[in-house]
Amino acid sequence: MAVRIASVITVREIFMTTEKNSDKPNGGAKKKLAILALLVLAAAAYGAYKVFDAKKPFEWSGTVEARSVTVGSRVGGRVKEVVAHEGDTLHAGDPIVQLEVGDLEAQRVMAEAALEQAKAALARLEKGARPEEIAQAHAREATTAPPAWQARADLARAARLLETKAISQAEFDRRAFEAKETAARALEAKSTVTLVRAGARIEDIRAARAVVAASQGRLDQVNVMLSELTIRAPQEARVESLNLRPGDILAPNAAAATLIEPGQLFVRIYIPETQMARIHVGDEFPLFFDTFPNREFHGKIESINETGEYTPRNLQTADERAYQVFGARVGLLDGHAEVRAGMAAFMRVPR
């Protein structure tokens, strides 16, 4: 630009001098020399400008973006308290929003009771019968055994009496029925002893264990739901947006707040297709922002898109091919405290 201004001033001086000397002797020759000098100077100025323009670095524009985190609750509910506010800097685990408990506390009490009941039933099956229960079964067996023996003896005697016609067939049938009942009771008492000593079947124990597992799962589910009532920051971040107020209803899995991770700013730059060979992943280049016109920032190429954007229908000439651009992500190496998402950015690449 300085070369062009100097050239214009010099050309103006030559032109004025030529006009003054045009009426003097040999003025025509001097005028021709002046015009020739003017042409030479203009050509030199144009050449200098072309050299300057050829050495000027490329300047590609883009926008600052930030990696954000959207937080919410998987259970939802009514907002009880808004702990954080927009602009706050949070650490991992810091509360943001507290929701009302509702009936979840009652559900936890019920789940705990069901679990205890299931555990007790399983323990009873695994431990088997108590010594007192086994002794009771043996006593019942001992009580029913003598009547059974006596009933069998009575039935044999009744059979002999029936042969001698000493008793009727009806009397014999009655005594036979009583003997069978007594024997059945004795067999039942003996089987009870066997079952009590053997304990529960393995199938019953497995079913009881399954009930315990299901009860534990239900309790864990309720505890997770209770933990979801407090929406916390997953990591260190700054609150970008938070529009909830106490009394608001937050739907399950709905966004409660948007957080911005510190140090996660990057610039989305668009590179013309004709200049793609000038940058590579890992290269570092200076960045500039309109907000800080006299300050140079630094960025590093993190990735380059494989697919071009804003492509015209037909790419016939080199100028038209420049319309196709490829997005690149440039990590911001400094200035995280000053730069904000949405700012316009410019990256300069030397020729």
Residue type present at position 338: E
Closest CA relative to residue 205, chosen from 141, 127, 268:
127
Q: Is 73 helix (H, G, I), strand (E, B) or coil?
A: coil
Distance CA 89, CA 233 (A): 10
In this prediction, residue 104 carries a pLDDT of 92
Distance from CA of residue 152 to its chain's centroid?
79
Which secondary-structure segment (H or E) carries 38? helix 27-55
In this prediction, residue 151 carries a pLDDT of 65
Q: Is 324 helix (H, G, I), strand (E, B) or coil?
A: coil
Q: Which residue has the tokens 């997953």?
A: 234
Q: Could you list the pLDDT tens digit for every one of the 351 residues in the chain?
A: 444 444 444 445 544 555 555 555 555 676 667 677 677 676 666 565 555 555 667 888 888 888 888 999 999 899 999 999 998 989 999 999 999 998 999 999 999 999 999 999 888 777 755 566 555 655 565 665 556 556 667 667 767 776 777 777 887 778 777 777 777 776 676 666 665 555 556 777 788 889 999 999 999 999 999 999 999 999 888 898 999 999 999 999 999 999 988 777 888 988 888 888 888 899 888 998 888 888 899 999 999 888 887 654 444 444 554 568 888 999 888 887 788 888 888 888 887
In this prediction, residue 4 carries a pLDDT of 45
In this prediction, residue 107 carries a pLDDT of 94
